[in-house]
Structures are given as C-alpha cells and as structure tokens.
Structure 1
Amino acid sequence: MPYTADKPGSTPDPEALRARIPGWGSDLDPADRPAFPREQPGIETGAHWELPPQQSGAAGRERSIEHERVTPVFGTAQPLHGISGRIRRFAYDRFSEGQTAHWLLLVAGDRVDAMTAHVVSLFSKRPDDPITESGVTGEVAHRPIASRVGRGRIDLKHAWMDPILVVGPWVVAAVLGVKLVRAVFLPASKRGK
C-alpha cells in the first residue's frame, strides 16, 4: 500500500542488483551517502500514523494512473475548469507520468488556459498590455544586444524566434479580431472594398 509510515520492503541482494543493473553500487560506501545514518533500522521517524489521514474532497481530483489513490494531501486552489481542464483530465486519465504524451497534454492545457485568460482580459476593465507585460521595454532599456553577444549564452541560437513567439499571437489575434468585426458590423457590399 502506498504512502505508509513504514520503510519499503527489504532491499534485494546487492549481487543480484549489480548483475541486473549496470553500474549499480557505485555509491555503496556509506561514507559517500549523506543520508546513511537515517537508513539505519530502528531510527524513529516521528510519524505517529500508519497511513496518513486522507484530505477530504479527493473524489474527482486528478490522479496519475500509476497510483492507487490520490495522495493524502493535495492542493485545491486551482480546480480544473473549461477546455484546459478537459485536456489535463485526459492527460491524467489516459497516460502515465512516464509518458511524453502526459506532459505534452499538460503543457497544451496550460497554453489553452493562458490563451483563454488573454481573451477574457480583453473584455475586462484592465486588459492585458502585451508591450509592458512581455518585457519588451526592459529589453530596450538594458542593452539587449550587448548583453547577449560575446557572452557564450546558449539562448542566442533561438533569440530570433522570441519576438515572433511573444508578439505573433497578439498580431494574429488582432487580425482575427478585425476580420470578425468587419464580418459582423460591415454590410456585405462594403466588405470587398
């Protein structure tokens, strides 16, 4: 059973591990392991439970398929919602945490959530400001070229893409917004001009 106060079962024989896993045992010397004193049997852990009490509200929470149940304690500040929540739920329900698809879906859910927040902000009292919030003004004020060239920075290889990735979505959204406004408010006879 996962999440118990007890230590896991007995460790397999070192020779069996060495035969099965190439390079196993390189840290076998206790002097090389900072956690060695805590690994001794009989040391009190301070746990006053066999299994920690389960936090309420676990039903419907995201749980990896490789775990039997939700962890005893979990965050509730950002519940899954909307399309991004469906994408994240699909990632947890379908793929193991060891699979790339799981993490790519979580990133996709995050991007959908960010785009949704940008769209919602357009209809609020204080919409997002892509110029100041993207750091463009800070780039101009703090020697953008001199701070990168000749310093061995690895991100110089993709620096040309950064303006496209930061400003591009805003330009696409503006073009689509103009087209939408024209389609809704302009009569069909004036659209072609």
Structure 2
Amino acid sequence: MPYTPDKPKLAESSDELRARIPGWGVDLDPKDRPSVPKERFDVNLNGVHWEFPERQPEKWPRERSVEHRFLTPVFGTSCPPKGLSGVIRRYSYRRYSEGRAAHWLLLLAADRVDTVESTLGSFLTRHPDNLLTETGVLSEFTHRGLSSRLRGRRVDRPHHLLDPIIVAAPWVLAGGATYLALRRVFRGRSRQGVGG
C-alpha cells in the first residue's frame, strides 16, 4: 500500500495469474490473436498498395506547424485562411511551435478577429446577421431568462453584469462612431452649401 512502510506485494507470475483467473493470457501466443493476420505484411492481401499515399494538391500555401516537415497527405480546405485573421494564423504557424502558449493564443485571437470580420462582412450582403435572434437575447424574455438569473445557484452569476457590456458595448460604440462620422460628413456638406 502506498505511503506506508510495508513492503509492496510482488506481482504474480503468469502461471499464478492463469491459475487464478480463467482465460488470463489467452492472447499471449501471437497465433491466438485475431489481429495478427492484419498486422502481418502480405503482398497478396488486398488493401493499400502504396508506400506513401498520393498527396492532395495544395491550391494555396497552407499553414503547417514548424514541427512537421510537410503537410499531411490530406488536409481540410473548407475554411481557408482569409483577411486579417488569416494573417494572424499564418504568423502563428510560421513563428511558434505547437508546444508554445503563444501559438494557441494567437489562434484564439485569430478566431475572434474572424468573428468580427464575418459580422462586418455580413452587413455588405443582402442578408446581414440578425443580432437580436442570433445572439439569443430574445430568449431572455421568452424563456424565463431573468428569473433564472435571479433564482437558483448559477455558477455564471458573477459575470451577469458584464454580459450586456461585453455583448452590447461594441455595437453601441460602432453605432455611435457611425453616427458621429455621418454627422460630420453632413455638416461639412451643409457648410459648403451655405458658403458656396
């Protein structure tokens, strides 16, 4: 037993274990293992006929960890790096090892930047993001959001006051900045019209 001065019990031998436990060690002999034919290399067996798989073509330079000599033969192409978030991701892979915290922190930052880029990009489309329905704010009023925040033992209670600031403040600031910019543009035009 650990943490006592008693001498630990010696491990039982294979013969003792086989005598005590019915069926113990049935796979010790490789002939009895069901996986052995799969592990044995036989050129007559059907299956893979290559030493190294054919490589997927690289349409654009893909990010790759500094630990690896080359990309894996197959890799994902559904979300290619784009914009500022792509620049951050490429820098993270080019500069830092996967064992460094900076690598992962940069990738987290790139995810946040990508979220902002996607949200701003949605405003340039015919179907921009609907902030009220997609953030779940309306469920606070329809699914007892306020009562669940006030009653019970929720672990996220300390940051309830921060939620509106974190979620709404960027939109309020962006709206205010847009208003001030438009106001300055229209005031400049009205002054030119009066003076001209």
TM-score class, shorter: 0.5 to 0.7
Deviation, structure 1 residue 151: 4.1
Amino acid at match of 1:77: S
The answer for the alignment partner of 2:176 in structure 1 is: 175
Within 2, Cα distance between the matches of 1:104 and 1:98?
Answer: 12
Deviation, structure 1 residue 138: 0.8
The answer for the alignment partner of 1:154 in structure 2 is: 155
Q: State whether residues 87 and 109 of structure 1, in contact with CA within 8 Å, keep that contact through their aligned partners in structure 2.
A: yes
The answer for the alignment partner of 1:164 in structure 2 is: 165
Amino acid at match of 2:83: G
The answer for the alignment partner of 2:9 in structure 1 is: none
Moved over 6 A (4+): none
Deviation, structure 1 residue 159: 2.3
Within 1, Cα distance between the matches of 2:54 and 2:151?
Answer: 56
Deviation, structure 1 residue 134: 1.0
Question: Does 1:118 find its partner at 2:112?
Answer: no
Deviation, structure 1 residue 173: 0.9
Partner of 1:44, secondary structure, is helix
CA RMSD of aligned residues (A): 2.7
Question: Does 1:186 find its partner at 2:187?
Answer: yes
Within 2, Cα distance between the matches of 1:101 and 1:169?
Answer: 26
Deviation, structure 1 residue 42: 3.8
Deviation, structure 1 residue 148: 4.2
Deviation, structure 1 residue 47: 6.4
The answer for the alignment partner of 2:76 in structure 1 is: 75
Within 2, Cα distance between the matches of 1:162 and 1:97?
Answer: 32
Question: Does 1:44 find its partner at 2:38?
Answer: yes
Deviation, structure 1 residue 150: 5.0
Within 1, Cα distance between the matches of 2:94 and 2:162?
Answer: 34
Deviation, structure 1 residue 171: 0.7
How many residue pairs get aligned? The number is 152
Unpaired segments of 5 or more residues in structure 1? 1-36
Partner of 1:89, secondary structure, is helix
The 5 Å alignment of 1:127-146 reads: 127-146=128-147
Deviation, structure 1 residue 185: 2.5
Within 2, Cα distance between the matches of 1:181 and 1:121?
Answer: 21
Q: State whether residues 92 and 102 of structure 1, in contact with CA within 8 Å, keep that contact through their aligned partners in structure 2.
A: yes
Q: Using a 3 Å threshold, how does the CA distance of structure 1 residues 153 and 52 change in structure 2: closer, same or farther?
A: farther
Structure of greater Rg: 2
Higher relative contact order (CA 8 A, sep 6+): 1
Deviation, structure 1 residue 136: 0.6
Normalised to the residue count of structure 2, the TM-score between the two structures is 0.67
Deviations 1:134-185 (A, max 9, x none): 1110121111133345544322222222221111111111011112212223
Task: Report sequence identity in percent.
Answer: 43
Normalised to the residue count of structure 1, the TM-score between the two structures is 0.68
Q: Using a 3 Å threshold, how does the CA distance of structure 1 residues 69 and 59 change in structure 2: closer, same or farther?
A: farther
Q: State whether residues 58 and 70 of structure 1, in contact with CA within 8 Å, keep that contact through their aligned partners in structure 2.
A: no
Q: Using a 3 Å threshold, how does the CA distance of structure 1 residues 47 and 176 change in structure 2: closer, same or farther?
A: farther
The answer for the alignment partner of 2:54 in structure 1 is: 53
Q: Using a 3 Å threshold, how does the CA distance of structure 1 residues 59 and 135 change in structure 2: closer, same or farther?
A: closer
